[in-house]
Structure formats: C-alpha cells, structure tokens
Chain A
Amino acid sequence: MKKRVSFIVFCLAVPAVVVGGALLFPAKRYAYVTLCAAVLSCLPFFMQFERKDAGVKRLVLIASMTALSTLGRVIFAPLPGFKPVTAMVVITAMYFGGEAGFMTGTLSALISNFWFGQGPWTPFQMLSWGMLGFIAGLLASPLKKSKALLAAYGALAGVLYSFIMDVWTVLWADGFFNPARYAAALASSVPFTAVYAASNVVFLLLFAGPIGRTLERIQTKYNI
C-alpha cells in the first residue's frame, strides 16, 4: 500500500511541479521547472532501487559498469562525441535488467560530470541516459536476439539523446520553448547527433557480444 501511495505521489508530483511552476513564476522560467521535473523523475527509480533487496555483488557490479562507462568517456575523450557510455548502459540493461541500466545511466552521467563539469544539464543527462537504459532493459530479450534491432536502438538512442538535450539548451537559453531556436539548435547539432548515433551503433555491435559473454560468465560463475 505504502509503495503504491508513494508511486502515485510521484506520478502526480512531476506534472504538478511543471504546471505549478509555469503558473507561479511570471517570467517563463521553464528551464528551471523542467530541471526540477527531471530531478523528480529520477527519484522514484532511486527509491525503488533502495527498497529492493539486491545482493552486494549486484551493487558492486553496477558500480563497476558505471565506472567502466565513465572510463570509456575518458578513454575516448580525444574523439569528440564518440562515447561508449550509451552502449555500456544498454549492455548493462540487457544483462542485469532495466533498473540496473537506469542506475548505470544516471550514475555515469552524475559521476563523469564530476570530471567534465557539473551543471544544470546534469539532471537531464542523468534522466536521458537512465531512460535509455531502462527502455533497453524492457527490450532485453529482442535486443539480445537481433543485431539489427540492437543497431537500430543504438542509432535511435543517439538521436533521442540529442533531441532531449537540445530541448534543454533552448529552454536554458530562452527561458521558454522557442521552436525557431529549437530547430536551429537541432540543425547545428546534426554532426554531433550523427556521431552519437554512429558511435552507439559501432560500440553496441562491437561490444554487445564480448561484454555480454563476460557478464553472463560472471553471473553463472558467482551465481548472481
């Protein structure tokens, strides 16, 4: 019962903050309102994660995958936009479930920004990577079966990531959603979006097999 109540509270809280924010603040500070909404949308996942009785092995493995994807972001830093983070998050989700994927995604964003710079974009990155992981977890079995689907998911994830982050760019710069600027932002980030999508596809196709086998081996060897 308690679970359900808190779930409902959260389902209501997010839109309430958005609507309330829009009504309360005269100058249209949507950026901040969406920022709060982003933070709030992460909370139920965190709380669910806290409640679940997961073994310490699983927790440390998630920490490892988080550290690895952050490391990937660092290793590949010389190649702009070419980051294995999304791929690592998706692979984690495929083998450890959507929740683990969500945690890996959000925490990778949070932690790598301790190096690359923390800012108001952090909650958005957390939410986008987290959601990409969560959805991959839901699609785990088809993604494991079909390489084509995996590649498509990677490409889509790259585009979606760019779209979401551009919404934020526009809100942050204008204080409200300015379609003209959104279009301009999208157009200017086409090369980046393309690199995101391409790198996701490349990394997923290259690594899903070997990393997946390693994860499966660890799961059976140490029965997790």
Chain B
Amino acid sequence: MRAFAKLHPAVNLVYFLCVLSVCMFVPHPVLEAEALVGGALFCAATGKRGNIKGELLFYIPMFFIAAAVNPLFSHNGVTPLFFLNGNPVTLEALLYGVSMAAALVGALLWCKAYSGVMTSDKHLYLFGRLWPKLSLVLSSALRFIPVFLRQSRRVGRAQKAMGLYSGKSLTDRIKNKGRVLSSMVLWSLENAVEVSAAMRARGYGCGRKRTSFSLFRMRAGDKVWLSLCLALYAAVLAAALTGDLNFSFYPKIGEISLSAAALLGYAAFGALSLLPFAAEIKEAVQWRYCVSKI
C-alpha cells in the first residue's frame, strides 16, 4: 500500500517540509513523541513486512544510546541523581537526553519515510523546472549508475577470465578494483560523448526554451490533502507563536503547558504526523472492502 506516495510530488514535499520543520524548530516533548509515533507507524505501514524486526533492532538501541550519552557529557540541571567520577548525573540531563533521542530517532524515521516516498524522479520533477541544467546532470547521472554497475560487473568478469586477478590479499583486491575503475573511466567518458550526441540529435540545446514533461497530475484529492496539511501546519505555527509551546529542561524541567493554544498545537501536530499513516489505513480498508465485494 503506497497511498501517500501516489499523491502529487508537490504535496509530498510540502508535507515533509511541514513535519520536518516543526520537528526541527519547535522542540517540545509532546510534539517529539507525536513525530516519533507518526513516523514509526508510517514506516511500519509502508515498509516490507520482514524488515520490521531488523529496523526495531536498529532504532531501539540507538534510542537508548543517544539517551544515555547526554547525561555523561552534560552536567547542567539542579537534580543530581548520582555522581560518576565526581561529576553529577542530573535528572534534567537524563530527560533531556531522552527527549534528544526521541527527536533523533523521530527525524531519522521521517528521513527514511522521505527517502521512500521522494524518489529521484519526483525530485527531478520538482526541481527540474527551477534548475534545468542541474536536473539534466542529475537525471543523467542517475540513469548512468545502473548502466555503469552492469558494465563494471562485465569488466570485472572479463578481467577475471583473462587471469588478471592475481591474488586475494588486500593490495591485490584494491589493484583489481582499481583496474576495473580505470577501464570504466575509459568506457564511460566515451559513452558520455555518445549520449550527448544523442541528446543534441533530439534537439537539446537547440536554443528553444525547454519544457518539462511529466506524468504527474494535480488531482482534486491532492488539493484536499494540500489544504488539510497547510491548515494543520498553520495551527501548529499559531500555537508555537503564542509561546505556550516553549519548553526547557535546564536548569529545571519546565511544565508541559495545558493552555488552549498548547492543546490546539498538540492536536494539530498529532493529526499532521498521523496523516500519511491514516491514508495508508484508509486505502487498505477500501481495498479490503472492494475485494470482499467482488
């Protein structure tokens, strides 16, 4: 199920910018927790079934390590728990570490979601209009990589079958790989000239302003999504501007505000970070329903 990824790339990008900017610039334990949960649920819903265990084994230890390291380095705070090598380990530093770890893992999860959703062709579509040359270089490079990989495998095998692979020591391995790379350089640059000829043959650089064609279409659903996302983002920003979402750990842990503005902020960001997960669930349910009717 990839309901969110099927939306218009601009919607995807705006959504990620909204979530990531809140994660980055409005540090607050509640928002961090919401981002963490939203990111984890989305990654779990879109990731491969078999991978979840491995992912948990990666993120959970990372969370604890990140949380534990901070109090060792930072001795701010007024509530010492115990002393280590004569330095106090404080409650504030510990909780700050937990909060940092939540933010860190949350951001990593959202970056993973970003990588999964924002494939290279979406970037090219979005930035291609802005920077046509850059996007030509980027898209050509992206196209070359699988081609080069295949060619380098061929070269490696050809060299092996010629008996050029001398030994198994580290220097031999480096030498062998280096030989593949230099063969690849010869081949790829010659190839580049041919590719550029093919581009010129198809009118690239003929002087007319290039347009950019894509299969993406902005549909009604995309517009609904976009407005919803921007509305929720505006609500979070408004709440943040009232100052009720300020929170500090040092010198003493602050209070989690329960004012109307703060509650609005929590609710709006919670909804925002759960949106893609909700979309996945909705599509799954629709599909189930549809299948059951057939």
Contacts and interface: CB of A to CB of B under 8 A. Distances in A.
B27 A29 contact: yes
A56 B112 CA distance: 34
Interface string A12-48: 0000000000000111010010010000000000110
A80 interface: no
Contact of B248 (A26, A55, A63, A66): A26
A29 B188 contact: no
Given A61-B192, A63-B192, A46 B140 contact: no
A173 interface: yes
Interface stretch (A2-10, A132-140, A153-161, A210-218): A210-218
Nearest to B181: A72
B158 interface: no
A63 B148 CA distance: 12
A180 B107 CA distance: 24
B133 A49 contact: yes
Nearest to A76: B177
A141 interface: no
A120 B109 CA distance: 11
Given A70-B145, A178-B73, A211-B185, A57 B138 contact: no
Nearest to A112: B145
Main secondary structure of the interface of A (DSSP, over half): helix
A1 interface: no
Contacts of B177: 75-76
A50 B132 contact: yes
Contacts, number: 161
A161 to B, nearest CB: 20
Nearest to B178: A206
Contact of A68 (B108, B148, B199): B148
A66 B186 contact: no
Given A57-B196, A118-B111, A173-B66, A50 B73 contact: no
A218 B193 contact: yes
B100 interface: yes
A64 B120 contact: no
A151 interface: no
Contact of A178 (B25, B74, B108, B114): B74
B195 A50 contact: no
B114 A118 contact: yes
B144 interface: yes
A174 to B, nearest CB: 7
Contact of B144 (A67, A114, A118, A210): A67
Interface string B119-142: 010000000000111101110111
Interface string B97-117: 000100010011001101100
B190 A66 contact: no
Given A49-B133, A111-B141, A210-B182, A60 B115 contact: no
A62 interface: yes
Contacts of A214: 185-186, 189
B244 to A, nearest CB: 13
B181 A207 contact: yes
A175 B205 CA distance: 47
Contacts of B100: 173-175
B140 A63 contact: yes
A107 B200 contact: no
B149 interface: yes
Nearest to A28: B27
B258 interface: no
A84 B144 CA distance: 18
A117 B115 contact: yes
Contacts of B107: 120
A50 B174 CA distance: 37
B205 A56 contact: yes
Interface of B: 24-25, 27, 66, 69-70, 73-74, 100, 104, 107-108, 111-112, 114-115, 120, 131-134, 136-138, 140-142, 144-145, 148-149, 152, 170, 173-174, 177-178, 180-182, 184-186, 188-193, 195-196, 199-200, 204-205, 246-248
26 contacts: A46-B134, A55-B205, A56-B196, A56-B199, A56-B205, A57-B193, A60-B193, A64-B144, A64-B192, A67-B140, A67-B141, A71-B184, A72-B181, A76-B177, A79-B173, A103-B134, A111-B141, A111-B145, A117-B111, A119-B111, A120-B107, A172-B104, A173-B104, A174-B100, A184-B73, A206-B178
3 smallest A-B Cβ distances: which pairs?
A: A63-B140, A67-B144, A32-B24
Given A67-B141, A68-B181, A79-B174, 6 more contacts: A54-B133, A64-B141, A71-B149, A71-B184, A72-B181, A175-B27
